[in-house]
Amino acid sequence: MSDLVSVKMRASLSGLHVSGAEKIVPVSSASKVASRLVERALSHERGTPDFINVKIESLPSDILRLKALPVKTHAVATPAEGRALAARLLAEAGIANADEIMARFSETHSLRGAMLLDADTLERLEPDQSRGVRATYMDDAAALARGTAGVKNHYAEAIVLATKVQNAPNIIAEICVSDDPDYVTGYVATCELGYRRIAVLKEKGDPNGGRIFLYRGPRDGVAKTIEFLEKTPVLVDDVPTLSSAANAPRRFDGLADALDERQAAGLSRQCRTLEGPTGPTAVVDGRELVVFASNDYLDLARDPRVVKAAADAAKEFGAGSGGARLTTGTQPPHVRLENALAKFKGSEAALLYGTGYMANVGAISALVGKGDAVLSDELNHASIIDGCRLSGADVLVYRHGDMEDLDRKLGACREHRRRLAVSDGVFSMDGDILDLPRFLEVTRRHDAFSMVDEAHATGVVGQTGRGLAEHFGCSLPDVLMGTLSKALGAEGGFVCGSKLLVEYLRNMSRPFIFSTAPSAAVVAAADAALSVLEAEPWRVERLRENVAFFVGELKAHGIAASTQSAIVPVLVGDERRAMAVSAALERDGILVPAIRYPTVARGSARLRVAIMSAHAREQLSRAASLVGRELSGEVKKFSRHMGVDTILTNDYQPVSAGTGLR
């Protein structure tokens, strides 16, 4: 053997291709790389293969080295724009019948390889037209030098392939559309234009793709071209990483690597655009979806009374507030809403913040600092965690919902100047609630401040949506934080508490002091929503019924789930699998996000179903049956594996059963 080998793996299930990969590596790492590829195939999201073939071949020592095509990305919004751009690029490369060539993608869907097309006569030149021509024996030279087989990366693999193809004799261009239903980016490549990524070249959800290699030359040259594509090994130098590909300067390389790593782990994220007003349905990428992801639990964001209040306030008070609250930013709507919130929650006073994040960061960092201790539930929201970190206090994390652990840890902080215990009221990724009576008992015994975040509890928990104190029939925590952006349909955060506490925060809380006041429009909208909520408690009741109905339907489809709020978590475990299930649901018209690290712990990815009062029974039962279809086998497996039966097999506990003081 020479010192380099080609390692190829392909896996199939019931005769259908599941995954494949090839690497060029030193013979010394051949077995390690082979086993890594096998592991990858065995955990593939398309299913566990029943056949895996691994081939290891020695390569000649004088491997051809090629320089990667330069990359340029074209941002287009729709597949039609993308296809028009592809045709324009081909025309630019001197290819006359670009539109007819693009139309030939209707014939590529069943091919494992590429269609080899005469660029001028449009005749197919592959000897086996059911398979096409496959480019193989190629890899990224840098991956070889790093001594790793690299991670799966559509992008780098496509550049390696395109570079080899453009160096084949008589090939003048290539067009590629991925066959991955979720990967809509494709490209056109030629020697002169380089690798032109086209951001959108097909509809999301479309499983059809393919490659067309365009040939210009004599017929007796075809064999040589295919010989080069299928047999000649090449290593490609200077393959760019994803984000540095957009011609970013070198100092951005570290950012690109971090993004690539996220992407390879199935953790990269993007913003989706939802057309139309917030509500139980939305148009996303041109398709109407039923939304099970919104915090607008009571359907108030689009309520005509709420929207009118915002519009009227904008007319009366202007679009922006013009200053911070302590300078020129306090207007009558701000004062009115603070009073209304205090009354609604039953506290002496309230203070508005621009967002819930700011309210948490602002309250915690004002209350505790160096020499103090803050005790935080391990599943608290990121804004609480960030507040703890920013405060400079000693942070002690106690086990989720474990009041004995909290008690012990408070006991260990007697020497600290101040102690603050902070907990989510509704845990936003698990849907369970804090045992407020016990939390208050423990914190008072230690003379510690108690703080509860009612972002997801306001409008949801308690008979009339007033929160945990109403649900348990107990008193309020010292610091009651909430948001206007969820059940209240607007945006912003607030803190309720005693007059003393609120006066203190107004003077000491930096996010309050150093931010422009929220606009009168958004404040008036929240105020109107609060009035609707108080006048129409049936909304809270309907939400509760919908949650109970949905959990019951899930159960009927083999999925045990529980919640004490409007958030129903369905555990999946693996990040990529959760993404795949979410994508499958979306193909069936249901928007349910997969929640992954860093929002939840690694390996505990889940679907997070958010229920609204406005969901129809039919929408709820269809969603439950689709989740059941995707997951009924796996969830059971996962719960056994992780020992999380408590989350998965508890029966639903009604939100407002009125358990009373304990």
Return the one option of Mg ion, ligand WAQ, none that residue 298 interacts with (CB less than 5 to 8 A, by type): none
Instruction: Assess 134 for contact with ligand WAQ (CB under 6 A).
Output: yes
Paired residues of 497 in beta bridges: 349
Cα 186 to Cα 176, 198, 623, distances in angstroms: 5, 5, 32
Q: Are 52 and 19 in contact (CB under 8 A)?
A: no
Q: Encode burial over 431-449: b for 16+ CB neighbours within 10 A, e otherwise.
A: bbbbbbbbbbbbbeebebb
Nearer to Mg ion (CB atom), residue 179 or residue 553: 179
CB 326 within 8 A of CB 644: no
In whole angstroms, the minimum distance from the beta carbon of 253 to ligand WAQ comes to 18
- The yes or no reply on residue 554 touching ligand WAQ (CB under 6 A) is no
Taking each continuous run of H as one helix and of E as one strand, the counts in the chain are: 21, 26
Burial 215-231 (b: 16+ CB within 10 A, else e): beeeeeebeebbebbee
Q: To the nearest whole angstrom, how small is the minimum distance from the Cβ of residue 147 to ligand WAQ?
A: 24
Residue 299: CB minimum distance to Mg ion, A? 40
Q: With contacts defined by CB under 6 A, how many residues of the chain interact with ligand WAQ?
A: 24
User: With CB under 6 A as the contact rule, which of the stretches 131-139, 279-287, 329-337, 447-455 interacts with ligand WAQ?
Assistant: 131-139
Q: Which of 49, 79, 82, 113 binds ligand WAQ (CB under 6 A)?
A: 113
CB atoms within 10 A of CB 254: 10
Tell me whether residue 22 or residue 588 sits nearer to ligand WAQ (CB atom).
Answer: 22
Note whether 537 and 388 are within 8 A (CB): no
Match 């030193």 to its residue by tokens.
26
Please report how close the Cβ of residue 183 comes to Mg ion at its closest, in angstroms: 7
**Burial degree of 370 (CB within 10 A; 0-12, 13-18, 19+):** exposed
Closest distance of CB 426 from ligand WAQ, Å: 39
CA dihedral 282, 288, 290, 296 (to 10 degrees): 0
Distance between CA 599 and CA 602 in Å, rounded? 9
For 116, residues 6+ apart whose C-beta sits below 8 A from its C-beta are: 124, 125, 126, 132, 133, 213, 215, 222, 225, 226
**Which of 456, 471, 562, 615 is labelled catalytic?**
456
108 near ligand WAQ (CB under 6 A): yes
Catalytic site residue from 178, 428, 485, 509: 428
Q: For residue 181, state whether it binds ligand WAQ (rule: CB under 6 A).
A: no
Task: Kindly state whether residue 158 participates in binding ligand WAQ, applying the rule CB under 6 A.
Answer: yes
User: From the CB of residue 547, how many other CB atoms can be counted at a distance below 10 Å?
Assistant: 29
Does the annotation mark 152 as catalytic?
no
Residue 128 Cα to chain centre, angstroms: 42
Judged by beta carbon, residue 179 or residue 432, the one nearer Mg ion is: 179
Pick from 50, 180, 316, 404: which binds Mg ion (CB under 5 A)? 180
Of 126, 140, 174, 179, the residue at the interface with Mg ion (CB under 5 A) is 179
By beta-carbon proximity to ligand WAQ, the closer residue of 173 and 607 is 173
Of 214 and 374, which has the nearer Cβ to ligand WAQ?
214
Least distance CB 592 / ligand WAQ (angstroms) = 25
Which among 162, 151, 152 has a CA at the least distance from the CA of 186? 162
Interface stretch with Mg ion, choices 44-52, 101-109, 171-179, 415-423 (CB under 5 A): 171-179
| Strand order across the 210-215 sheet | 71-74, 194-198, 186-190, 171-177, 210-215, 115-118
> Cα–Cα–Cα angle for 53, 55, 61, nearest 5°?
165
By beta-carbon proximity to ligand WAQ, the closer residue of 134 and 636 is: 134
Is 456 an active-site residue?
yes
Q: Which does 425 bind (CB under 5 to 8 A by kind): ligand WAQ, Mg ion, none?
A: none
Instruction: Give just the sign of the alpha carbon dihedral 627, 629, 632, 634.
Output: negative
Strands 274-275, 281-284: pairing kind:
antiparallel
Q: Which is nearer to ligand WAQ, 135 or 358 (CB)?
A: 135
Is residue 231 within 8 A of residue 108, CB to CB? The reply is: no
Q: Is 428 a catalytic residue?
A: yes
Q: Which of 206, 491 has the CB closer to ligand WAQ?
A: 206
Per the listing, tokens 């691994």 go with 54
Cα–Cα distance between 119 and 380 in angstroms, integer?
60
Window of 41-49, 78-86, 109-117, 446-454 that interacts with ligand WAQ by CB under 6 A: 109-117
67 within 8 A of 237, measured Cβ to Cβ: yes
The entry of Mg ion, ligand WAQ, none that residue 445 binds, CB within 5 to 8 Å by partner kind: none
Q: Which of 334, 381, 471, 486 is catalytic?
A: 486
Task: Pick the stretch among 185-193, 246-254, 442-450, 487-495 that binds ligand WAQ (CB under 6 A).
Answer: 185-193
Paired strand residues for 186: 177, 198
Q: How far is the CB of 94 from ligand WAQ (least distance, A)?
A: 23
Q: Give Cα 313 distance to the centre of its chain.
A: 35
Site membership for ligand WAQ, residue 180 (CB under 6 A): yes
Which of 87, 119, 135, 422 binds ligand WAQ (CB under 6 A)? It is: 135
What is the pattern of x (binds ligand WAQ, CB under 6 A) and - over residues 209-228? xxx-----------------
Residue 237 CB, nearest approach to ligand WAQ (Å): 18
Which of 14-22, 173-181, 345-353, 380-388 is the region at the interface with Mg ion (rule: CB under 5 A)? Answer: 173-181
Are 542 and 344 in contact by the 8 Å Cβ rule? The answer is no
Least distance in angstroms from the C-beta of 174 to ligand WAQ = 9
What minimum distance in Å lies between the beta carbon of 165 and ligand WAQ? 8
| CA–CA dist 76, 316 (Å, integer) | 40
Taking the least distance from each CB to ligand WAQ, the nearer of 222 and 526 is 222
Closer to ligand WAQ at the Cβ: 133 or 374?
Answer: 133
Give the residues lining the site for Mg ion (CB under 5 A): 179-180
Under the rule (CB under 6 A), what is the footprint of ligand WAQ? 108, 111-114, 134-136, 154-155, 158, 161, 176, 178-180, 183, 185-187, 197, 209-211
Supply the residues annotated as catalytic.
Answer: 428, 456, 486
